[in-house]
Structure 1
């Protein structure tokens, strides 16, 4: 009888392009994946993978075997879905992806009630700035913030609400520098910029009439992690441009304050994304329903708190 775990490990190694990448995606040590795939090859008495220092590729036999693996795993998944669909009580593991900051500031407030209502559901939270491919990475639900959401026929999208992008700094930093009255005043101050923006030295702000103002600044720190940017701003390293979801608590406590509160840097619309290719498992369905019912109000309250917090002109 074939071991489906070994087929799953082999398929993941091929899909992710290597043992290390598959190990990171699955949360399994690279050494374990290597041993299991080697044991599979030994049991089948065939070589499935060509291994070299720089690349990994399928052999001719491995290519055929990989196709059957994907089909077998899809059927196994379909069988499990069919069985769970007939189960009265939602149960099992649901994989949920979300951007950094969203879990600690929004999800944390709605998950206790969910687990109390559905004690047999387990949740794996995948926090990432990278775009998650629900189908390829076997993720059930994703919360994604985008300036514009591109329609995808394979996905169902539900809007949860907007998250604004604001300028923030620590009170100590602002006390040590000249007052910031106009966007142009940022040009001479150290800033904290997001590393993945197209031009890290230019910020585009919008006034109350949504008229754009482009400001050239000199980043002291370039970061690709919003949580790190927030902590750096709290420590007084400079002015940072952050999504509200990342700095809710810091603004509420006074650790950060708004800079140029009459200006904003746009909004990201937050979507809940999920796929309904084969029908939704009960555990996934109740999570989706719970998030749609609770997150918009949580986000609305958090958003209001940001704009009611202490501001610095």
Structure 2
């Protein structure tokens, strides 16, 4: 399709470069050679007699005119994408690329089987799986995020997926060194290993907040498996999800009548009227698996 500005594809390329922040990332998303993207953008600027993009450090950012062009054009490009995806949906094809950002521990303990089944069921879907604990806010309609922290995400859809019950754990060797631990005050005074820098720790009892204490973490490491390893080696005490802590054979639960409080995890994605079919199906699969997991956890709690 051509316009008075040339190929509409070139306008689409321009929008993708602005969204991705670089020619290389845009070329990867569009499955095009970087040289092709660069050549077509240069031709677009020549036809319009406007400078749309400029280098700032390692990033490619829009000029003031480029920002205005992007604001005016991007919504139209989304409508075109939505129309194509709607046609695909009507033919029941599930295809395209999806990005899912998730902590390592979530993937191993919860998501991996669901992802494997999903990819086998839909062979035309390509998945970019990012395993880390960094808060990566979804930028496009094909980005998904699983996280405990939805602060500053009011413009996103956040669907609850499962709840994690925590307990306080340390190695048998560390407990022997510490002596008697009978109150939250005793526990708060120990060496702590944490996954973040939050130092105010709530202690819940019988489902209600009982008291809060400040802790001074000796080690902060942003990976749950690394926290469990450190605690297993006697470096301190940590608040750990019960289902993960029980996988370590030498850990002892301290003050089992207390817990940190249930932590709610969320599946986060951009609000959009016409959601890509591949994203919609993956969201459904993750929500169904989380519902099954929550029921299994509830049955275990009732049994205990």
Fold shared per TM-score above 0.5: yes
Cα gap change, 1:139 to 1:307, in 2 (>3 Å) = farther
**Cα deviation per residue 1:111-139 (whole Å; 9 max; x = unaligned)?**
333334333333333345454443x3434
One of 224, 227, 248 as aligned partner of 1:226:
224
Equivalence map 1:152-163=2 (5 Å): 155=157, 157-163=158-164
Cα gap change, 1:291 to 1:62, in 2 (>3 Å) = closer
The answer to which of 291-300 and 56-65 deviates more is 56-65
Q: Which runs of 5+ in 2 are unaligned?
A: 1-6
Is the CA contact (8 Å cut-off) linking 1:252 and 1:305 kept in structure 2? Answer: no
Q: Report the number of matched residues.
A: 290
Structure 1 residue aligned with 2:190? 189
TM-score by length of 2: 0.74
Whole-Å separation in 2 of the counterparts to 1:81 and 1:70: 16
Is the CA contact (8 Å cut-off) linking 2:97 and 2:125 kept in structure 1? Answer: yes
SS in 1 for 2:273: coil
1:205 shift after superposition: 0.9
1:307 shift after superposition: 10
SS in 1 for 2:162: strand
Runs of 4+ residues deviating >6 angstroms = 25-28, 148-151, 303-309
Cα gap change, 1:215 to 1:52, in 2 (>3 Å) = closer
Residue 293 (str. 1) matches residue 288 (str. 2): yes
Structure 2 residue aligned with 1:102? 106
Is the CA contact (8 Å cut-off) linking 1:193 and 1:240 kept in structure 2? Answer: yes
Whole-Å separation in 2 of the counterparts to 1:169 and 1:254: 11
1:260 shift after superposition: 1.8
Equivalence map 1:227-246=2 (5 Å): 227-242=225-240, 244=241
Is the CA contact (8 Å cut-off) linking 1:94 and 1:283 kept in structure 2? Answer: yes
Residue 112 (str. 1) matches residue 116 (str. 2): yes
Residue 12 (str. 1) matches residue 19 (str. 2): yes
Structure 2 residue aligned with 1:42? 42
Is the CA contact (8 Å cut-off) linking 1:11 and 1:69 kept in structure 2? Answer: no
Equivalence map 1:112-191=2 (5 Å): 112-134=116-138, 136-146=139-149, 155=157, 157-191=158-192
1:107 shift after superposition: 0.9
Cα gap change, 1:303 to 1:99, in 2 (>3 Å) = farther
Equivalence map 1:260-279=2 (5 Å): 260-275=255-270, 277-279=272-274
1:301 shift after superposition: 3.3
1:302 shift after superposition: 5.3
One of 272, 278, 284 as aligned partner of 2:279:
284
**Cα deviation per residue 1:130-176 (whole Å; 9 max; x = unaligned)?**
54443x34344443335x89995763x54333212322222332233
1:50 shift after superposition: 4.2
Whole-Å separation in 1 of the counterparts to 2:197 and 2:255: 23
Cα gap change, 1:36 to 1:222, in 2 (>3 Å) = farther
Cα gap change, 1:132 to 1:209, in 2 (>3 Å) = closer
1:223 shift after superposition: 3.1
Task: Note the aligned Cα RMSD (angstroms).
Answer: 3.9
Whole-Å separation in 2 of the counterparts to 1:121 and 1:56: 29
Cα gap change, 1:154 to 1:188, in 2 (>3 Å) = closer
Cα gap change, 1:84 to 1:26, in 2 (>3 Å) = same
